Amino acid sequence: MVLGPEGVGQRLGVRSQGMKYRLATHDDADAIRTIYNREVLGSTVTFDLVPRTLEDQLSWIDEHSGAHPAIVAVDDHDRVRGFGSLSPYRPRPAYRTTVENSVYVASDVQGQGVGKGLLVELLRLAAAHGFHAVIARIVGGHQVSIALHRSCGFELVGVEREVGRKFGRWLDVVLMQKLIDPGAPEPPSA
Ligand SMILES: CC(C)(COP(=O)(O)OP(=O)(O)OC[C@H]1O[C@@H](n2cnc3c(N)ncnc32)[C@H](O)[C@@H]1OP(=O)(O)O)[C@@H](O)C(=O)NCCC(=O)NCCS
């Protein structure tokens, strides 16, 4: 059964009151890149090293439409407070039932349930679009993101050791996974 956004949110305990979740548009590009570039420049949670230009961000939004959407969390004034996306996991065609998620929340509203609201909405969209598995790749030691994904039913798959390097440090990647509907009947052969 695929629950609507309220149903999924209630089941997973979303507590971001007053926030709305909608598909991202070109008008959101600047707000999205402001949130993202802060992490590019100041943290290891993204392995990007160079901040996104407005042009990069617009192309990213174009790439994240249709089956692989980008969404934003907006407050009462339609101000973007966070964003998330589903991306193809790997280019080879047999991976097409799997997606990779990402979630970013503005620093002044972290810890208020916005990240969870975004992830719940991404899981709803992944189910609605017929995807089977969702993968999260999280920098080693990022306990908040690991807890966020665990609270939405993701399980630890394993750790890739020292696969990244940023700010002069080796970085591990923690791989987590959620099967959307493990009880569903097998699809016809690929
Ligand atoms: C990681 C991030 C997306 C989490 O979003 P958030 O809005 O801060 O988190 P939420 O308030 O929705 O909390 C979701 C869950 O995370 C956990 N969590 C949140 N803050 C936490 C903290 N300080 N310590 C431990 N766990 C925490 C809790 O399990 C919580 O679930 P619960 O409400 O059921 O208890 C957000 O902090 C962020 O954008 N960080 C910078 C970018 C980033 O790291 N993105 C993820 C890349 S993998």
Q: Closest residue (by CA) to atom 24 of ligand 1?
A: 144
- Going by alpha carbons, the residue nearest to atom 12 of ligand 1 is 113
Q: Which residues have CB under 8 Å from 124's CB, separation 6+? A: 2, 3, 4, 5, 8
Average pLDDT, the chain: 91
User: 9 CB under 6 A from ligand 1?
Assistant: no
Q: Which residues pair with 138 in a beta bridge?
A: 174
Pocket lining: 45 vs ligand 1, CB cutoff 6 Å: yes
Ranges of each domain in the chain: 5-179
Give the closest residue (by CA) to ligand 1 atom 45.
104
- Give tens-digit pLDDT for 54-82: 999 999 999 999 999 999 999 999 999 99
pLDDT of amino acid 19: 94
Q: Of 15, 43, 110, which is best to mutate to test ligand 1, by the most ligand atoms within 8 angstroms of its C-beta?
A: 110
* Closest by CA position to 149, among listed 102, 186, 183: 102
12 confidence band (pLDDT: 50, 70, 90): low
**Answer CATH for 5-179 from 3.90.1150.200, 3.40.50.1220, 3.40.630.30, 3.40.50.300:** 3.40.630.30
- Pick the atom of ligand 1 nearest to 112's CA: 11
For the stretch 104-126, pLDDT in tens is: 999 999 999 999 999 999 999 99
For residues 60 and 24, give the distance between their C-alpha atoms in angstroms, rounded to a whole number.
10
pLDDT surpasses 80 at 188 = no
